[in-house]
Amino acid sequence: MSQTKETSPPSTTREPRQIDALIVGAGFGGMFMLHRLRGLGLTCQVVEAGTGVGGTWYWNRYPGARCDTESMQYSYSFSPELQQEWSWTERYAPQPEILRYANHVADRFDLRRDIRFETRVVSAHFDANANRWTVTTDKGDRISARYCVMATGCLSNARLPDIKGRDSFQGATYHTGHWPHEGVDLSGKRVGVIGTGSSAIQAIPVIAEAAAHLFVFQRTPNYSIPARNGPMTREYEHTWKADYEQRRAQARMTRNGILANFNDQSALEVPETTRRRNYESRWVTGGTTFMASYNDLITSKAANDTAAEFVREQIRALVKDAKVAELLAPKDYPIGTKRICADTLYFETYNRDNVTLVDLRSSPIEEITATGIRTADHSTDLDAIVFATGFDAMTGTLLKIDIRGRDGAKLSDKWEAGPRTYLGLMCAEFPNMFMITGPGSPSVLSNMMVSIEQHVDWITDCLAHMGSRQMSVIEPTQKAEDDWVAHVNEVASKTLYPSAASWYMGANIPGKPRVFMPYIGGVGRYRKHCEEVAAKGYEGFMMAGGRSVAA
């Protein structure tokens, strides 16, 4: 690898520190990017807002937080030694264990010495004369880098809803995505949870165990499949580890980066009894791979209806109060078009005497008061409010940074009508800025670990390619970007996804453009396409040496 190595002493207010690559974020994306770019001999700096590594798993410490992809598959595959030596204790790893794993990786690969913690990137401006990014932080650093890699995560900008009186509440308030590190003792308290997305569905059963009374404020019910979590058995671990390389390779070519029992049949081509048996067996096995029951659950409304109705039936069977069960059974959007959840005793929790479901559809929240939450027809006194209200997903964190490309072009202007990228990796007018699992890539529709590794490896190969040809600047052509955006939209429009008001569509943020942000074409297909782009000499990208990009 023939990249020239650049480094200089720490920044002063006048002279920015000169490095090769700045990486924003020390989650799983940023950590692996650092490791790979070091391998190319580049000088790197990671800037991370938290006090430690782990990204999502650093911030989301709410009770019950755990991964809904199986542990054996939600881990790095790049190091055979790492994947053999690490042991998970449960089928679905809890947040503290994933955070321990992230820390283990940081130690094992000596990553911390290039990570600046408790620091936020405020701006990143491209200087076309020098072909460098100048990055500033909230600690006053100025860093000049040839490459800027945004490993900022897809769900990292926690969102508090603008509810009247929100800040007047005198009790304690928490957001699931910013849970206090020291934990929270909710025992004996009257607790309100706003929201019933994945975070709430994991937290509610655990909070209900502790609280004196739990009130769940639900606007939209969610489809959730029992996770059937349990201890990791040595046999199960061994079947994976004995065959890890091959299983990982297979997973990379699947639809969503997960080796699951995918059934490539239409739900409508089998008799009802067969279909039912299949759904029942997957319900018993548990997990979000329920959506792999048939190949058309996300493209055919009639097929989807069969799965949705099956889940509604299970909810009705689990929840004793028929009225509550009806409120918990989603009916107005197809299953899977909002992120499907995996739970542990979620629906059963509503059978407890100390849990009350408050239906915001019939009686919306009017105000948060000093003492609790007032809906149109009732006031509930509370000691604590938990906002499980989600994130400004996929674009929110990037747009909080003042990012300016060539000729001062602002990313916020470029993305005003929705994110525009080529392959979810780069944007026209923003040379040498890469995104890991950016909008327009499979990202949140996939096993994030698989997608992170694919992007990091692709970026690494790309920089190695550039280095070996004395190229210093890369940027997608406008046409390649336009064509990719059109393709992303076209593929999404053939599915049921756009019919739901989901965060995939930006629908949870008032005023955010309604655009389906991730790429639904499939992890394997997408990977193949990215590989072909590279094999064709980085088709759709302009590369230049020297000081400027050819127009």
Name the residues that contact ligand NA7, by CB under 6 A: 155, 161, 163, 176, 194-200, 217, 219-220, 339, 360, 365, 388-391, 444, 503, 508
- Shortest Cβ distance from residue 60 to ligand NA7 (Å)? 8
User: C-alpha angle with apex 157: 208 to 456, nearest 5 degrees?
Assistant: 115
Buried b (16+ CB within 10 A) or exposed e, 68-81: bbbbbbbbbbeeee
In the bound state with ligand NA7, the residue whose beta carbon lies nearer, of 200 and 496, is: 200
- Shortest Cβ distance from residue 77 to ligand NA7 (Å)? 21
CB–CB of 358/378 below 8 Å? yes
- E strands present in 232-306: none
- Shortest Cβ distance from residue 225 to ligand NA7 (Å)? 14
- Shortest Cβ distance from residue 106 to ligand NA7 (Å)? 22
- Shortest Cβ distance from residue 159 to ligand NA7 (Å)? 7
- Shortest Cβ distance from residue 172 to ligand NA7 (Å)? 19
Structure tokens at 99: 């955070």
How many C-beta atoms lie closer than 10 Å to residue 54's C-beta?
24
In the bound state with ligand NA7, the residue whose beta carbon lies nearer, of 350 and 391, is: 391
Number of residue whose CB is nearest ligand NA7: 197
- Shortest Cβ distance from residue 365 to ligand NA7 (Å)? 6
CB–CB of 403/410 below 8 Å? yes
Structure tokens at 275: 């279909």
- Shortest Cβ distance from residue 356 to ligand NA7 (Å)? 15
Start-to-end CA distance of the chain, whole Å, equals 27
| H helix or E strand, kind and range, residue 487 | helix 478-493
DSSP codes of every residue in 31-74: HHHHHHHHHTT--EEEE-SSSSS-THHHH---TT-B-SS-TTTS
DSSP letter assigned to residue 422? B
- Shortest Cβ distance from residue 139 to ligand NA7 (Å)? 29
In the bound state with ligand NA7, the residue whose beta carbon lies nearer, of 199 and 349, is: 199
Q: What residues contact residue 68 under an 8 Å CB cut-off, 6+ apart?
A: 92, 198, 227, 287, 288, 341, 342
Helix/strand number for the chain, H first, E second:
16, 20
DSSP codes of every residue in 449-465: HHHHHHHHHHHHHHHHH
As a whole number of Å, the CA-based R_g of the chain is 24
- Shortest Cβ distance from residue 464 to ligand NA7 (Å)? 32
In the bound state with ligand NA7, the residue whose beta carbon lies nearer, of 471 and 509, is: 509
- The candidate with the shortest Cα–Cα distance to 359, out of 340, 378, 372, is 378
In the bound state with ligand NA7, the residue whose beta carbon lies nearer, of 45 and 60, is: 60
In the bound state with ligand NA7, the residue whose beta carbon lies nearer, of 104 and 166, is: 166
Q: Counting Cβ atoms within 10 Å, is residue 93 exposed (0-12), middle (13-18) or buried (19+)? A: buried
Structure tokens at 226: 């029992």
